[in-house]
Amino acid sequence: MTAIQKIIVTGGAGYIGSHACKMLANSGFTPVVVDNLSTGFRWAVQWGELEECDIRDGDKLSQIFERHNPVAVVHFAAKAYVGESVENPDIYYHNNVIGTMSLLDIMHQHDVQRLVFSSTCATYGTPESVPIDESQRQAPINPYGVSKLTAERMMMDYELAYGLRFVALRYFNAAGADPEGEIGEAHDPEHHLIPLVLDVAAERRDQIYVFGTDYDTPDGTCIRDYIHVTDLAEAHVLALNYLLAGGDTQFLNLGNNQGFSVREVIMAAKKITGRNIEMVESTRRSGDPAQLISDSTLANKTLGWTPQLSGIDIQIEDAWRWHMKFHQHN
């Protein structure tokens, strides 16, 4: 009989975390979701138990570790909006830095030495060249990126001092929804481009604002590398298996190695939904680089990870199917 391997998943009631929980459960692990439900949803916890807890509450978090005796942690819990981080940096340092430090302390106390960390391409700031590989200088240009880079640095210190081993997955723009339609993106308020565009298509929003049309890109709008949330979830499971098999600490980019502009995303959504999508041009937002495109070669070499749902069309199709289902019932 195979021993149950419990995995603490912080932020497991959120968008990416819930997809990772499904993938973990389907891979033979038992997820234990630790989430304060500030942005996550109870309905998204369909694979494993929910422990309602803020990771900054060290006493409660320690009790959860005591009860479940996890073999590893997958750490998603964080605030994750660039614009909001510029307006309210205090929230980002409290959640993403102090929260991570609390988690690392409890892991150390309970001798849990393996961690998969949800990091971000925002740690690079404005890239020196595109596509971005892991050797590029990390110089974040917004508090969100700074908070995630600080968390990475703390993990490096805990590795040196206490033997922590971790994989930091620096991913680009998560998109899409579970192809089987069980879960998907449902932020409130919503900040991500594709669901905002789909809101306009569904007549839940009047128009989509395009922040900046004068970037040094072919059509003047920002270019981003969109990665299907199911592909991201798979990468977390592969990273976990890598660590459990004795793998060393790694920093890995996750993306599709190709970018789409804001205008291209809107045009693709028009085609897929068959709906009119009104676009309003606006000024640039603070903290937005012109282009962010991944070089994910190292993730492929280290984990054997290759995105399976890489086209923008399939990402929008899955997101649209989920969008219509979710809003019919909410």
In a domain, residue 21? The reply is: yes
Residue 119 lies in a domain: yes
For the stretch 152-206, pLDDT in tens is 999 999 999 999 999 999 999 999 999 999 999 998 788 889 999 999 999 999 9
Helices (H) and strands (E) in the chain, counts: 11, 14
Q: Is 144 annotated as catalytic?
A: yes
| Domain contains 123 | yes
Q: Are residues 235 and 316 in the same domain?
A: no
Give the span between the Cα atoms of 75 and 9, in whole angstroms: 6
The verdict on pTM exceeding 0.85 is yes
Q: Is residue 247 located within the same domain as residue 261?
A: no
Which is catalytic among the residues 15, 81, 144, 158? 144
CA-derived radius of gyration, the chain: 19
| In the block, residue with structure tokens 């000024």 | 283
**126: containing domain:** 6-175+226-254
pLDDT at 33 over 50: yes
Please tell me whether residues 113 and 135 are part of one structural domain. yes
Residues 103 and 244 in one domain: yes
CB 296 within 8 A of CB 263: no
Q: Is 305 part of a structural domain of the chain?
A: yes
Same domain, yes or no: 14 and 147: yes
Q: How far apart are CA 186 and CA 140, in angstroms?
A: 27
Asked if residue 241 is part of any domain, the answer here is yes
Token reading at 225: 């590398």
Query: Which tokens sit at 307?
Result: 């995105």
| CATH number, residue 274 | 3.90.25.10
80 and 209 in one domain?
A: no
Tens of pLDDT along 228-250? 999 999 999 999 999 999 999 99
**C-alpha closest to that of 117 among 310, 255, 254, 294:** 254
Is 264 found in the same domain as 250?
no
Same domain for 295 and 167: no
**Is residue 300 scored above 70 in pLDDT?**
yes
User: Is 50 exceeded by the pLDDT of residue 21?
Assistant: yes
Kindly state whether residue 295 falls inside one of the protein's structural domains: yes
